[in-house]
Structure 1
Amino acid sequence: MKRQFSYSRTFAVVLARDLKIAFKNKGDIFNPLLFFIIVITLFPLGIGPDLNTLAKIAAGIIWVAAVLSAMLSLERLFKADFDDGSLEQMLLSPQPLTLIIFAKVFAHWLITGLPVILLSPLLALLLNLPDNAYGALMLTLLLGTPILSLVGAIGVALTVALKKGGVLLSLLILPLYIPVLIFSTSAINAASLNMAYDGHLAIISALLATSLTLAPIAIGASLRVSTN
């Protein structure tokens, strides 16, 4: 019972610490969100006001913007901890490393993924997304954005010791985001055509379950390699 309490307290302490740091550095919260908004609002200006064209590509625009905004904030996930030595203390902590990683990734999702989910329905109005596709949009973002944080954290852990690892980080994780991007946009497009999209959601759910299981282990191993 004490150990369970200790684990939950460790998770809460790490989560609260990362959220507190993020709220002190407002750019960590607002920069990815503003980027997401700007990317989506630029498409109607660049493509034109044709509502049918915008409706056809709305799902892809929203999801590409979500992927890019997630990547914009990923590099800072472990970088500050590496620079001030906190990361080494986490690696040497008696608490499970996977628990600490879960807390940090969850904090990243709360800061970047959750605002994207909440804003997406409003921005989808600009793209003339069909009314019957909003449910699929919310479900795919709810299932898919945690995958972006978990998979992205693997790339961050591998490049945390590099001074200019942003380009390498993009090359590492962008190919891994493609399955989520494909099945999420396909689900939204299927919903807009009144077709079943349960199979798409099942695949995204399987990707999420796999990420929740394997990503923390891969992140921990990558951090140990990068800090040695």
Structure 2
Amino acid sequence: MTALLIRDLRLAFRAGGGFGLGLAFFLLVAVLVPLGVGPEGATLARIAPGILWVGALLACLLSLDRIFALDFEDGSLDLLATSPIPLEGVVAIKALAHWLVTGLPLTLAAPVLGVLLNLPGPGYLWLVASLAVGTPALSVIGAFGAALTVGIKRGGLLLSLLVLPLYVPTLIFGAEVVKRGATGAGVSVPLLLLAGITAGAVALLPFAAAAAIRVNLR
């Protein structure tokens, strides 16, 4: 399992489209929004939680099609499906690798980009906390969507259409955590709901993704 994780991390950095592309897209969102909305600090502070979460979500979406595509093209996915490692474990490891390459860097970079959007001071801690709790769900849900579309040529658009509706609850509660934290309101309810979504996704979706891969490999 550890060897598979290291292999996927190496492939992600060698093939590109993960770490650097996600951060670059996140930066562009944080830079372009003030240019389009205007420099008013009050306006930016009000929309900052939603914009930062939307940027992180779309940045995670960019590299989802690579989770299984490279392994499918070179035949590695067939070997992984027949290896002693349960296919559900393979899905979980690939989702973890995706989060380490995209979700974790976005979480660490978010406070810096929050400055560009004039995020209120109390919101920075909750921005990091919400992304740390919520981005694993984005990776696991994305792995499920990638499993459904594996083997489909140019399935990136279909993958986006399948995954984006499933991302909506995570987006809503993640942005709500930051918004409430920035204003000093209680964040326990949306944060617990966000954690529940992540826990449910991690517990259930690897099995669903593994079943989808088995169907696509027949």
Secondary structure in 2 matching 1:74: coil
1:14 matched to 2:4? The reply is: yes
Q: CA contact under 8 A between 2:22 and 2:106: conserved in structure 1?
A: no
CA distance in 2, matches of 1:133, 1:29: 25
Q: 1:31, CA displacement in angstroms?
A: 1.2
- Partner amino acid for 1:128? N
TM-score (norm 2): 0.97
Aligned identity (percent) is 45
1:112 matched to 2:102? The reply is: yes
Secondary structure in 1 matching 2:147: helix
1:157 matched to 2:147? The reply is: yes
Deviation per CA, 1:146-188: give whole Å up to 9, x if none.
0000001111101011101111111111010000111111111
Q: 1:97, CA displacement in angstroms?
A: 1.4
Which structure 1 residue ranges, 5 or more long, are not aligned?
A: 1-10
Runs of 4+ residues over 3 Å off in structure 1: none
Which residue in the other structure is 1:32 paired with?
22
Secondary structure in 2 matching 1:21: helix
Deviation per CA, 1:47-94: give whole Å up to 9, x if none.
111000000000111010111111100000000000000001111112
- Partner amino acid for 2:30? I
CA distance in 1, matches of 2:85, 2:57: 32
CA distance in 1, matches of 2:90, 2:143: 13
Which residue in the other structure is 1:209 paired with?
199
Q: Residues 21-170 of structure 1 correspond to what in structure 2 (within 5 A)?
A: 21-170=11-160
Deviating more after overlay: 100-109 vs 48-57: 100-109
Deviation per CA, 1:117-155: give whole Å up to 9, x if none.
110000000101010111111111001100000001111
Q: CA contact under 8 A between 2:17 and 2:63: conserved in structure 1?
A: no
CA distance in 2, matches of 1:212, 1:182: 19
Q: CA contact under 8 A between 2:141 and 2:166: conserved in structure 1?
A: yes
TM-score (norm 1): 0.93
C-alpha RMSD of the superposition: 0.9
Q: CA contact under 8 A between 2:94 and 2:143: conserved in structure 1?
A: no
Secondary structure in 1 matching 2:18: helix
Q: 1:23, CA displacement in angstroms?
A: 2.1
Of 179, 191, 204 in structure 1, the residue corresponding to residue 169 of structure 2 is 179
CA distance in 1, matches of 2:30, 2:62: 15
Which residue in the other structure is 2:210 paired with?
220
Secondary structure in 1 matching 2:195: helix
CA distance in 2, matches of 1:153, 1:24: 20
- Partner amino acid for 1:59? P
